[in-house]
């Protein structure tokens, strides 16, 4: 029986629940293995020797697969050989796997993005529970990093009009240029007001994440749009400040726990060739988050 060596690249990673999620998936599938955290701090020189060496361990077969999170979803791309049709237009990678895992030879490394389909699957589940008779597809995305690219791609592919708000205007422009065939708007950050009839707010920033749960990307003095839904990609803590305040304003809101499980299940299937037990993963996550 294969013993799978899996892991997550990013920084910081102390908040991550991915090891518990994937250990639950391995156990449910009857597979042996481990899922380790590989914290790699950003390098101002851009060399990222540690990142390159770690990716090389996937190429050699020492590691069977890696997830990638902030801040390396884009910086990891030069060390890969190929991007999937999903990762290519997004320009960000969250999953790395070998093209020929059964070979002892050095394999080509494939970069995929399971964030986009994982987000869309959970978003559809979330929106299906909202009893609105009319739901215009007008989304406001907060942030313009690697996660935002996956979210914006998923929304555009599903017929949404997207407005982006982020601190770095050049990052917003780069993201908009990547999807220039679609109508994308942008607005100032921090938000002062909003002009569009927003029906969905998606937070793709790390604001509100443990160990800083008292932060939020939404200005304290700005009312939420009426009849909007709020989706916060942050999943730890179990109820972020953004979600708590949106619910207090009477809006349906959810964290990114469902997306975490969906994207992880898709990555697990790429690495192992086995289906992931989503309910086992969800149970493990709820126990870890204290609910």
Work out the pLDDT band at 227, boundaries 50, 70, 90: confident
Domain ranges within the chain, ordered by starting residue: 3-113+260-288, 116-257
Q: The whole model's pTM is what? A: 0.90
Is the alpha carbon torsion for 48, 52, 57, 63 positive or negative?
positive
Instruction: Kindly tell me if the per-residue pLDDT of 21 is higher than 60.
Output: yes
Is 283 one of the catalytic residues? Answer: no
Q: Tell me, what DSSP letter sits at residue 232?
A: E
Structure tokens at 278: 């989503």
CA triple 270-275-123, angle to 5 deg = 85
Distance separating alpha carbons of residues 272 and 263, to the nearest angstrom: 14
Work out the pLDDT band at 46, boundaries 50, 70, 90: low
The fold for domain 116-257 equals Rossmann fold (3.40.50)
Work out the pLDDT band at 183, boundaries 50, 70, 90: confident
Instruction: Kindly tell me if the per-residue pLDDT of 291 is higher than 60.
Output: no
The pLDDT of residue 239: 95
Of 20, 27, 49, 73, the active-site residue reads 73
Residue that is written with structure tokens 């959970």 in the block: 122
Q: Mind listing the pLDDT tens digit for each residue in 50-89? A: 999 999 999 999 999 999 998 899 999 999 999 999 999 9
Q: Does the domain spanning 3-113+260-288 belong to CATH 3.60.150.10? A: no
The pLDDT of residue 265: 97
Instruction: Kindly tell me if the per-residue pLDDT of 22 is higher than 90.
Output: yes
Structure tokens at 69: 């999170």
The pLDDT of residue 243: 98
């Amino acid at each position: 029986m294969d013993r799978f060596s899996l892991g997550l690249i990013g920084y910081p990673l102390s908040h991550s629940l991915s090891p518990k999620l994937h250990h639950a998936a391995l156990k449910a599938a009857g597979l042996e293995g481990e899922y380790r955290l590989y914290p790699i701090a950003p390098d101002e020189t851009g060399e990222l020797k540690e990142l390159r060496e770690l990716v090389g361990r996937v190429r050699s077969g020492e590691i069977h697969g890696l997830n990638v999170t902030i801040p390396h979803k884009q910086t990891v791309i030069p060390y890969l050989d190929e991007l999937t049709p999903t990762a290519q237009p997004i320009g960000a990678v969250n999953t790395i796997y070998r093209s020929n895992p059964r070979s002892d030879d050095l394999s080509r490394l494939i970069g995929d993005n399971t964030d986009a389909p994982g987000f869309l699957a959970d978003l559809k589940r979330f929106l299906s529970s909202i009893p609105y008779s009319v739901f215009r597809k007008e989304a406001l995305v907060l942030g313009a990093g690697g996660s935002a690219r996956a979210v914006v791609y998923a929304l555009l592919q599903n017929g949404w009009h997207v407005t982006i708000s982020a601190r770095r205007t050049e990052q917003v422009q780069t993201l908009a240029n990547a999807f220039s065939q679609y109508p994308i708007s942008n607005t100032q950050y921090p938000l002062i007001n909003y002009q569009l009839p927003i029906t969905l707010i998606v937070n793709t920033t790390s604001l509100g994440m443990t160990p800083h749960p008292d932060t939020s990307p939404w200005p304290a003095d700005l009312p939420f749009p009426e009849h909007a839904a709020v989706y916060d990609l942050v999943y730890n803590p179990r109820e972020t400040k953004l979600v708590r305040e949106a619910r207090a304003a009477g809006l349906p809101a959810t964290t990114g726990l469902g997306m975490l499980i969906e994207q992880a299940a898709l990555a697990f299937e790429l690495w192992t060739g086995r289906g992931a037990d989503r309910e086992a993963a969800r149970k493990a996550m709820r126990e870890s988050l204290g609910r």
